[in-house]
Amino acid sequence: MERMKRGEKMNYKQTRMWDVDNWDGKEPSPPEIEEAGLCISRGEAVAFPTETVYGLGADARSDAAVEQIFAAKGRPGDNPLIVHIGERSQWQHLTSSVPDMAEQLADAFWPGPLTLIVPKNNAVSEKVTAGLSTVAVRMPEHPVARALINKAGVPVAAPSANRSGRPSPTKAEHVTYDLDGKIAGIVKGGGAGYGLESTVVDCTGEKAVVLRPGGITREQLTRVLGEENVAESAGLPQEEAPKAPGMKYRHYAPSSPLVLVEGSMHEAVKEAQREGKTVGIMAVDEHHADLQKYADVFIALGSKDELSDIAARLYDNLRLADQSRVDVIFCETFPKKGIGEAVMNRLEKAASAS
């Protein structure tokens, strides 16, 4: 197969599946990972597991390869991508400088669910960075992800492997549902662990700014840098290009409207039913007995005392809600502390009408 040319589009009658579910990273990587890595090195887009969600990866240096990602996902071009590396030394080739705070955070949390925004050099495609002067870099913890990146031999740009706006995929089956026939292949490596995308931290200013909460909590960041060195994100004016994924557009949404409810759901549910609507309820296990009788579909999110489990299953549950085909979905809210900040960030995006 020849290397792709700029502007060339790939059409697939069938997206290939490479099953490496049983590989734990301790033995030499199986031929399936080598084949998938070769596809990436040749300019194709391949989905693969990480410890956060499944990503859709392509050669971050190539405009034509990166265009495969945007085309498959239907992703807006001003939404930058995260570049994934297999070894920490590789990020020196992507940036013009590494701020001290970025080094400290990498020491503490790499490999892991943390993306660091640093000044870029010219090594990656402008399509990856959306024309910005910065690049977002992450070294994933998942052994399949790191082996694949190293076999590809290139930095890998990889957003979540779903149609843009849909709930992110935490299983290979989710990727197949969204992208079958649109990408070269899927590396099946089990379910994601954290279940939410990485935390994104801008390290280009005087303070670290959390642009997207995720698997590494704000509390963990402040323990490393000090509370005085971690700033709140100021948000993004609509007309400006986002500096990180997940800042500007509606994300993670099921097809039916999602309504977040603080406190009792009874009145909101009854009002919807008086209007003749079918109702789905997403709530914690402890509220199942009280609320299921009001719902056409009840989806148990997990125990209120195990918010990390709720986070890990959130996208799977949003997809279940989508499949229920109810007219409206009501969902409980959670305290914005620890991993709860990331959970609420995703739910608020899913409920947004913008």
Q: Which positions make up the binding site?
A: 52, 75, 79, 84, 134, 138, 158, 160, 168, 198, 212, 252
Query: Going edge to edge, which strands form the sheet with 328-332?
Result: 258-261, 328-332, 279-283, 297-300
Q: Confirm if 18 and 147 have CB atoms less than 8 A apart.
A: no
Q: Please tell me the distance from the alpha carbon of residue 58 to that of residue 71, in angstroms, as a whole number.
A: 12
DSSP state of 205: S
Q: Smallest Cα–Cα separation from 73: which of 196, 195, 182, 155?
A: 182
DSSP state of 217: -
Q: Please tell me the distance from the alpha carbon of residue 140 to that of residue 77, in angstroms, as a whole number.
A: 24
Positions at the binding site for L-threonine: 52, 84, 138, 158, 198
Cα 338–Cα 116–Cα 139 angle in degrees, nearest 5: 95
Positions at the binding site for ATP: 75, 79, 134, 160, 168, 212, 252
Q: Confirm if 159 and 82 have CB atoms less than 8 A apart.
A: yes
List phi, psi (to 5°) of 157. -75, 130
Q: Please tell me the distance from the alpha carbon of residue 179 to that of residue 96, in angstroms, as a whole number.
A: 35
What would the two tokens of residue 96 be?
């013009």
